[in-house]
Amino acid sequence: MSITPLMPVYPRSGVRPVRGEHCHLIDEDGTRYLDFAAGIAVNILGHSHPGLIGAIQRQAETLMHVSNLYGSPQGEALAARLVDLTFADTVFFTNSGAEAVECAIKTARAYHQSAGNDDKFELITFANAFHGRTMATISASNQEKMHKGFAPLLPGFRYVEFGDLEGVKAAMGPNTAGFLIEPIQGEGGIRTGTDEFITGLRQLADENDLMLVFDEVQTGVARTGTLYAYEQYGIEPDILATAKGIGGGFPLGACLATEKAARGMTFGTHGSTYGGNPLAMAAGMAVLDAVANDEFLAEVREKGERIRTRLEQFIGNYPELFEGVRGKGLMLGLRMKVEPRPFMQHLRDSHQLLTVAAGDQTLRILPPLVIGDAEIDEFFDKLSAGAADYRHPES
Ligand SMILES: *Cc1c(COP(=O)(O)O)cnc(C)c1O
């Protein structure tokens, strides 16, 4: 047998972390890495946050899981907190981002179909989007590399260029149910939706009774300097998927919706065995306790601005490598003039700095939101050293 016990779907690197300490990961053989990948925007409180650990420990000792057949004081409390903090009136808890997007897609379809509009099932989505790896969420993306071998795709998605409002108008028709969009594309390369584009989508949705669905799985939970990125556009979505940071490392996601948008989501229409279990609720509550306040959010914005300013100065020294800085808050990207993957590997293997490669020739910088001056300085030391001794492989 040559297949590995772990299904070989990931090209895993040689870094094999066994322990985390705040903003660092420690490898099997004791090597310390500065973690500016944060589990791809998951470990927003770093790796050993006492509040998060304590909340999970206490809840694990008290009650880990019960079925959704029973009342859920823990779920009600976290849902009420999210309703308080956001546009939403109601919340469905999931265990992952893809499931949160699945619920968002079902909610958008059911909004129309529960009112008898059975032909309104199509969501307009955007080129190079990433919404997860389930059948529905790969179908929602135009990225062929995620489709290959998994045909047939789920019908009901139309792809338009990110930022192309005229293209959206042209793609709309009698089957259109709404729009599904990442306000800042993460894996697509930290591409930020402009104010004009996002408010344009809101206006089109209002004029045509369509659902504006935000995938904030990566942008959400303080990452961009507000609790959710939609706040920075001065609009509200009808439905929003959140995950990644919301559990701080515990598997948790949620689909948020207004009362109007959720009109089709009635008894028996949706469910999840684990979704919203007490252990996950404790983790989510501990994360919100830490991040959902003005001081924390202001610090994320301030640290984001500081890193961005230094990055802009830094890239001036390496015009052959870097083209520009992208993103908001602590969701940052370095647009490169060469493929970012070998540079990411060089930073990782030669300088013990973890970042994430993304589409559109962009290197993602996604530190834990709790970084301080010391981690920022260490990041620039490693990045500068990495750029100075980098030799891009001949293509
Ligand atoms: C990571 C991600 C997902 C999928 O989340 P999983 O937890 O891997 O299912 C969906 N949408 C966006 C924008 C993401 O970044």
CA distance 147 to 139: 7
Burial code of 282-313, b = ≥16 C-beta within 10 A, e = fewer?
A: bbbbbbbebbbeeeebebbbebbeebbebbee
Q: Which atom of ligand 1 is nearest to the CA of 219?
A: 13
* Closest Cα to atom 5 of ligand 1: 97
CA of 100 from ligand 1 middle (Å) equals: 9
Q: Which residues pair with 161 in a beta bridge?
A: none
Ligand 1 pocket list (CB less than 6 A): 96-98, 101, 130-132, 182, 186-187, 215, 217-218, 243-244
Would you give per-residue pLDDT tens digits along the chain (395 residues)? 899 999 999 999 999 999 999 999 999 999 999 999 999 999 999 999 999 999 999 999 999 999 999 999 999 999 999 999 999 999 999 999 999 999 999 999 999 999 999 999 999 999 999 999 999 999 999 999 999 999 999 999 999 999 999 999 999 999 999 999 999 999 999 999 999 999 999 999 999 999 999 999 999 999 999 999 999 999 999 999 999 999 999 999 999 999 999 999 999 999 999 999 999 999 999 999 999 999 999 999 999 999 999 999 999 999 999 999 999 999 999 999 999 999 999 999 999 999 999 999 999 999 999 999 999 999 999 999 999 999 999 75
CA of 217 from ligand 1 middle (Å) equals: 5
CA of 360 from ligand 1 middle (Å) equals: 18
- Quick one: CA dihedral 185, 191, 194, 200, positive or negative? negative
Q: Which atom of ligand 1 is nearest to the CA of 98?
A: 9
CA distance 87 to 214: 12
Q: What angle is formed at CA 380 by the lines to CA 362 and CA 25, rounded to 5 degrees?
A: 80
CA of 8 from ligand 1 middle (Å) equals: 20
Domain boundaries, the chain: 17-48+294-388, 63-291
User: pTM for the complete prediction?
Assistant: 0.98
Whether domain 17-48+294-388 has CATH 3.90.1150.10: yes
User: Cβ contacts of residue 5 below 8 Å, gap of 6+?
Assistant: none
CATH topology of domain 63-291: Aspartate Aminotransferase; domain 2 (3.40.640)
Annotated binding site: 97-98, 130, 133, 215-218, 272-273
CA of 97 from ligand 1 middle (Å) equals: 4
Q: Which atom of ligand 1 is nearest to the CA of 243?
A: 7
Q: Which atom of ligand 1 is nearest to the CA of 133?
A: 9
Cβ distance 303 to 371 under 8 Å? yes
